[in-house]
Structure 1
Amino acid sequence: MVASPAGFRSPWTQTIDLRTEVRVAWRWLRRPGLARRALPAIRAHLGAAPASTAYAFTLFVTWWTLRGVGDSVEKKLIFSASTNLFNMRHNPVQVLVASAFWTDGGFPWSIIISFLIVMAYAERWLGTTRWIFLFATGHIGATLLTVTGISHAIDRGVIPVKLTYAADVGTSYGFSAVLAAMAFRFRGTVRLVWAATLTLLLLAALWIGPTFTDYGHLCAAGIGFLVGALASAGGHFLERKAAAKHEQVEAFTE
C-alpha cells in the first residue's frame, strides 16, 4: 500500500492481516476485567456504525408491526413491498426502497445480529456513506437483474405466470454485496479464500435448489466484487497521485 504524505487515505487500501487481528483480539479478550470492558466496547462499536445499527432496529420495528396485524393485512403489506415483477412494473422506486426494510417469516434474529456485527464492521471500515452506497448498489442491482431474468423466463414459458406476484422482500442482496466487497479488506491469501468461499457457497445453493433468489445472491456478490475491485484500484491511484503532488510541492518549496 502506498502511504500518502499529503494525508489522503482511501479505506479501500487499508487492508489488514487476519492473523495479526486475531492475535490482537485474543489478547484483548484475555486481559483482566473483560466484563467491565465489554459494554463500552460494544457501545463504541455500534456508535461508529449508525446506519447498520439503525437498519437493525428498523427491521425489528417492521417485524413487530407484522406481528400486530392479522394474516391478511400482513400478506398485503409484504406484497406491497415486494420487488416482484408486477410491483416493479408499477411502483419500482417505492418497492426497491421498501423491500429492503421488511422480512418475511419469524423473528429475524440472525439478520439483526449479522447487521450489528458484520455489517457494522464493514461500515466502520468504509464509512457510513460508502457502506450505504455499496449496500444499495447490491440490493438495487441484483433486484433488477433478478426481475429481468424472471421476466424473460415468463415470456418464454419456462416458469409459471404466478411468479409475477411472488413475495420478495429482505436484506440479503445488499448483504451479499457487502460480504463480497469485504474480501478487499484482507491481504493476500485470505482475500482469495474469502472470495472463493463466498462464491462457492452461493454457487452450491444455486446448484442444489435453484431459485431466482439464489440467482440474485450470486448477482449481488458479483456486484460487490466489481465495486470492491474498482474502488480498491481507484483508491490506490488517488493515493499515488496525492503522494506525487505532495512530492512536487516539497521539491518546489525547497
Structure 2
Amino acid sequence: MAGARRAVWAYVRSAPGTYVWLGILFVTTVALHHMSPEFEQEFLRRRSTNIHELSRHPVRVLVTSAMWIDGGYWLPYAVLYSVFHAQAERWLGTLRWLVVCGAAHVLATLISEGALARAIGEGLAPASAADTLDVGVSYALAGVVAVLVYRIRTPWRYAYLAAVLLVYGYPLTTGPTFTDLGHFVSVLVGLACRPLVRRRARVRNPKETGAAGPG
C-alpha cells in the first residue's frame, strides 16, 4: 500500500496543473451541491460563456466558466483528467499544456457562440438562446485529447485519430448544437497545436507497459 501511495503521489506531482485544476473543480462541485436548483442555474449563468455574458464580461467568463462542471459529477472528470490531461502535461510540460487548453477553450467558445449569434440573427434560433448556460471544461479536454494524437506511434496514431474524429464529429451529422460545433473546433485546435510538440519526447507505443514519462 505504501508503494502504491508513493506511485500515485509521484504521478500527481508530475502533472501539477492538472491536479490543481481538478482540485478547484472538486471544491466548486461541492459548492454547487449546497445550492438550490434555481439559485444554481442563475449562479452558473452569470459565469457562463453565453452571448450575453461574453458581450459584457468576456475575459471574466472565459476564465470562470472553466472552473465549474454543469451536472455535478466530479469523479468522471477525475478519471478523464488523469488519463488525458495528466499525460499531456507530463509530455508537453505545464506551459505548453496550458497553451493547448487555453487555445481550445477560448477559440471553440468564440467560434461556437459566434455561430449561435448568427443563427439567432437569421431567425434559426430563438433570441433566448443568447442566455443559454455554457460552462464546463469539455472544450479544453477535447483539445488535449486531440493533441495526444502526436504522442502515439504510427500506425496506432491513425486509429486513435479516427476514433477522436468519430466521437466528436458524428454529433455534427445528427442535429448538431453549438456545443457539438465547439467540441469539434476544439479537436481541430488541438490538432493545429502540432508545432508545440515537434521538439518533445519520442512518441509512445501503445504496446509499451507503464505510464509514459515526460520528454
Report if TM-score (shorter chain) is over 0.5.
yes
Structure 2: runs of 5+ lacking an equivalent: 201-215
Distance 1:44 1:136 in 2: 25
Which of 9, 22, 44 is equivalent to 1:56?
22
Q: TM-score, normalised by structure 2?
A: 0.88
Q: CA deviation at 1:74?
A: 1.1
Which of 55, 59, 64 is equivalent to 1:93?
59
Q: Does 1:171 align with 2:171?
A: no
1:17-72 per-residue CA deviation (whole Å, 9 max, x = no partner) reads xxxxxxxxxxxxxxxxxx55322111100011111001111111111111112223
Normalized per residue, the structure richer in helix is 1
Q: For 1:56, give the aligned amino acid.
A: L
Q: Does 1:180 align with 2:112?
A: no
Contact 1:84/1:164 (<8 A) preserved: yes
Contact 2:65/2:135 (<8 A) preserved: yes
Q: CA deviation at 1:164?
A: 0.3
Structure 1: runs of 5+ lacking an equivalent: 1-34, 237-254
Aligned length: 200
Q: For 2:64, give the aligned amino acid.
A: A
The farther-off stretch of 177-186 and 105-114 is 105-114
Query: Which residue is equivalent to 2:78?
Result: 112
Contact 1:154/1:160 (<8 A) preserved: yes
Distance 1:200 1:117 in 2: 19
Q: CA deviation at 1:107?
A: 2.1
Q: CA deviation at 1:75?
A: 1.5
Contact 1:180/1:222 (<8 A) preserved: yes
Query: Which residue is equivalent to 1:194?
Result: 160
How high is the sequence identity, in percent, across the aligned residues?
A: 32
Which of 228, 231, 239 is equivalent to 2:196?
231
Distance 2:34 2:197 in 1: 45
Instruction: Please give the residue correspondences for 1:115-130 in structure 2 after superposition, counting only pairs within 5 Å.
Output: 115-130=81-96
Q: For 1:148, give the aligned amino acid.
A: G
Q: TM-score, normalised by structure 1?
A: 0.75
In our comparison, the structure showing a higher alpha carbon Rg is 1
Distance 1:200 1:72 in 2: 36
Computed over aligned residues only, the root mean square deviation of the Cα atoms, in angstroms, reads: 1.5
Distance 2:103 2:139 in 1: 9
Residues 151/83 of structure 1: CA separation in 2 closer, same or farther (3 Å cut)? same
Which of 133, 140, 162 is equivalent to 2:99?
133
